[in-house]
Chain A
Amino acid sequence: MRARVVLGLATLVVAGGLVLDMSRSAPRTAGSDHVAPLIFSASLPGAGSVCQPVVSLPRDAAVAQLTLGTYGKPVPALTLRFLTGSRVVAGEGRLSAGAHEGVVTMPLHARADAEAASEVCLYVEHPHGTTVVGGEGVPESPFSERVNGRTAPGQISLTYLRRGSESWWDLLPVLSERFGLGKASFFGSWLLALAALGLLGVWVAAVRLLARELGGASSG
């Protein structure tokens, strides 16, 4: 009996912890261009642009994060533009001058055809000191960046965030969709629900087994 009561209480504590953990609200990521800000990979002396191919712009991207260096000066005005193969703007973000160098966040407006984006360009609008952009060093190729139109050995890093702050409960539909991507397509976006159901079954079975095996022992 004692064991069953304690088991029940312990399970409730864990369930409570899970609910609390999932209720925590925070900015959530919407994706990235799969490049990490390991080094300053692009350098723009004065006004100019750095462009590179992207697979897409996630539809739910509301903020873009870049790592910028300006040698102590305020960050100049910037425009980030995503273009489709037919040069239509699929998404755009603007940052007014004056931000501190480091990780910079820029509000982004993704259009309906955002996922069709195949190229991204970062524009420094006005002549200013040198701006360096965080990314990775890669060999020059059709996939690497172009600084002021010239192919350069690097890729800039872009991370996208969703709008505002969300709990994991809010994010569940998105998580379900992402969970089914990049895997064998047996269950699609139902896969997360299936895993959760299976896990619940495991918990019920384990607690029942323990209640049966330990219940008798602790009362005896």
Chain B
Amino acid sequence: MRRLAPAGLAAAAWPRSRPDLRAARFLRALLRRVPRAGRACFLIAFVNAAIWGLVVPPFQVPDEIAHFGYAQYLAETGSPPPQVVAPPYSDEEQQTLQSLEFFNVIGRPELRGIFDRAEDRALRSAFARHPSPLGPGGTTSVTDQPPLYYALEAIPYWLSPSSNILARLVFMRLLSALLAACTVLAVFMFLRELFPHTPWSWPVGALVVAFQPMFGFLSAGVQSDNLLFLASALTLWGLLRAYRRGFSDRAAVAIGAATAVGLLAKLNFLALVPGIALALALLTWRERSRGRLPALRSLGCALLAAGIPYGVYALLNIYVWHRGGPTSGGIGAATSSALPSGEVITLNESLDYVWQLYLPPLWFMHHRYFATYPGWEIWLNGSIGLFGWLDYRFPLWVYEYCQYIFYALSALAIAALVRLRRRLLGMLPVFVCFGVMALGMLGSIGYTGIRFRLTSGTQFEQARYLFPMLVFYGAFAVLAARGVGRRWAPVLGGVLVVAAMALGLFAETLTISRYYG
């Protein structure tokens, strides 16, 4: 404290340096360009996600223990976990998990964690023994992942006013809430580009996303998906904006930077890269009227902005952190066609599986991978709500009604698409690129899914894997609202947002009854 005070005084007394002022001016200008409604959506989404962070008990968001473990290791050592066979968590985390009865609670909806003061005292006395926060960094399900999200999480880890693990977790969860709010803002800006003449639709789509129950639930935890969702939304917004307003150098750098963030956030983002590359080629081709050289320069800016950070990461991974290849084994594991047993999965089997994962099987597909149609069970029901470590959900009637509502909204959205076809046709080329991105994502889920299923016998797929395409969830809500015609569209838009808020609210009460009731 004595060391910090003079520095703090100095900062207050001395005039700010030029780069500081320039950055502040840039941020102010950036904020001014966001409509007031967008800023309001951002704040609403942030507070909503922060409340989710209070409601969900520590480590009850899927894989939060592994994500926290990675972030803690990085915060304590300055480097990502070394991928060795060793205990995965620090003594501090392991003892906290045991005191919280974590391993007895997950997957057992009838059991609760700490429920009375005596158990709480036992937890506090475990902290009093000051277990070490530095673990050996053993392999977990996320060790292969790039370190950007965890490096960002190291900031609240160290800024936390208390070194208690649960206090640190609160502040780390706030960063996830902030990323979720930024995602909602990106959805808002995307819709602004997509529907520039209907400003009422921007907050409608953004708030439908902000209150999406699974999105809210995930934003409660230390989970790198939150950065993946943001990077995907920013990339899609950047591409659409560049398509509509021109592929300037600045736009190209922004797209490249968003892509780099995605690549350094989670390996899943790699599935979007072919679509992004196609979109960049399209944008360059459209800019040829500006001259071939300026168009190629913009393309170069995008490639450099995406490639340099990823290249630096790859080099650090190999030569400084000694974590194997440039993607630390994650790609190798995800693209191998063989199972650990040596059995090879053929391309036909993979394609069959991917098809059946999203669509009803065709007549020539003799192998049935799923007992029920995954379109409802995994994707629709999963996105309505499958909470905790996949161990509690709404009553079944909620999913049935939501299915009927989904039918109705889909019909309305199709009607709106037909009505808006002339305007939307102009954007068809960039939407083809978005389609390639979506196909890449769907294909990669299936490709990994069949291998996981045949290795472990359990289901890999979760609805959250589709959330990199959240901007289209917002666009779907807007299209459905517009399906009823110009006069009633804002009214239905408002109803859809209140319905999303209600679903989010009851998801929170369900969570409270699951863990505290």
Contacts and interface: CB of A to CB of B under 8 A. Distances in A.
B490 A214 contact: yes
A31 B498 contact: no
Interface string A1-13: 0110011001100
A21 B122 CA distance: 34
Given A195-B55, A199-B51, A205-B40, A213 B203 contact: yes
B54 A191 contact: yes
Contact of A7 (B111, B164, B494): B494
A219 to B, nearest CB: 9
Contacts of B117: 115, 177, 181
Given A18-B509, A29-B112, A171 B517 contact: yes
Nearest to A10: B498
Nearest to A215: B490
B495 A6 contact: yes
B493 interface: yes
B118 A115 contact: yes
B114 A182 contact: yes
B120 interface: yes
Contacts of B211: 206
A210 B494 contact: yes
A194 B112 contact: no
Contact of B44 (A18, A168, A186, A206): A206
Contacts of A210: 203-204, 207, 494, 497-498
A213 B200 contact: yes
Contact of B516 (A58, A179, A194): A179
A205 B499 CA distance: 16
Given A159-B110, A182-B100, A56 B51 contact: no
Interface string A57-97: 01100000000000000000000000000000000000000
B50 A14 contact: no
A198 B51 CA distance: 7
A2 B368 CA distance: 50
A10 B495 contact: yes
Contact of A198 (B37, B50, B204): B50
B51 to A, nearest CB: 5
B40 A7 contact: no
A216 B51 CA distance: 31
A2 B491 contact: yes
A202 interface: yes
A205 B40 CA distance: 8
Given A182-B123, A198-B50, A214-B494, A32 B40 contact: no
Contacts of A178: 115-116, 516
Contact of A206 (B167, B493, B497): B497
Contacts of A28: 517
B170 interface: yes
A98 to B, nearest CB: 26
B77 interface: no
B517 A202 contact: no
Contacts of B169: 184
A175 interface: yes
A14 B116 contact: no
A127 interface: no
A102 B113 CA distance: 25
Contacts of B494: 3, 6-7, 10, 210, 214
Interface in B85-101: 100-101
Contacts of B231: none
B118 A55 contact: yes
B182 interface: no
A35 interface: yes
B34 interface: no
B212 to A, nearest CB: 13
Contact of A181 (B119, B198, B491): B119
Contacts of B508: 199
Nearest to B123: A182
B256 interface: no
Nearest to B49: A202
Contacts of A182: 57-58, 100, 113-114, 119-120, 123, 166
Given A191-B54, A202-B48, A181 B116 contact: yes
Contacts of B113: 182
A186 B167 CA distance: 8
Interface string B110-141: 11111111111011000000000000000000
B407 interface: no
Contacts of B198: 217
B22 interface: no
Contacts of B200: 213-214, 216-218
A200 to B, nearest CB: 10
A46 interface: no
Interface in A190-211: 191-192, 194-195, 198-199, 201-203, 205-207, 209-210
Interface string A149-170: 0000000000100000000100
A54 B495 CA distance: 50
A36 interface: yes
A17 interface: yes
B230 to A, nearest CB: 20
Nearest to A11: B498
Contacts of A36: 104, 108, 110-111
A183 B56 CA distance: 10
B516 A183 contact: no
A100 interface: no
B41 interface: yes
Interface in A121-148: none
28 contacts: A3-B490, A7-B495, A10-B495, A14-B505, A17-B502, A18-B509, A32-B110, A36-B104, A36-B108, A36-B110, A115-B118, A179-B516, A181-B120, A182-B100, A183-B57, A183-B58, A184-B162, A195-B55, A199-B48, A201-B47, A202-B44, A206-B44, A207-B498, A210-B494, A213-B37, A214-B493, A217-B200, A218-B200
Interface of B: 37, 40-41, 43-44, 47-48, 50-51, 54-55, 57-58, 100-101, 104-105, 108, 110-120, 122-123, 162, 164, 166-167, 169-170, 198-200, 203-204, 207, 211, 487-491, 493-495, 497-499, 501-502, 505-506, 508-509, 512-513, 516-517
Interface of A: 2-3, 6-7, 10-11, 14, 17-18, 21-22, 28-32, 34-36, 55-56, 58-59, 115-116, 159, 168, 171, 175, 177-179, 181-184, 186, 191-192, 194-195, 198-199, 201-203, 205-207, 209-210, 212-214, 216-218
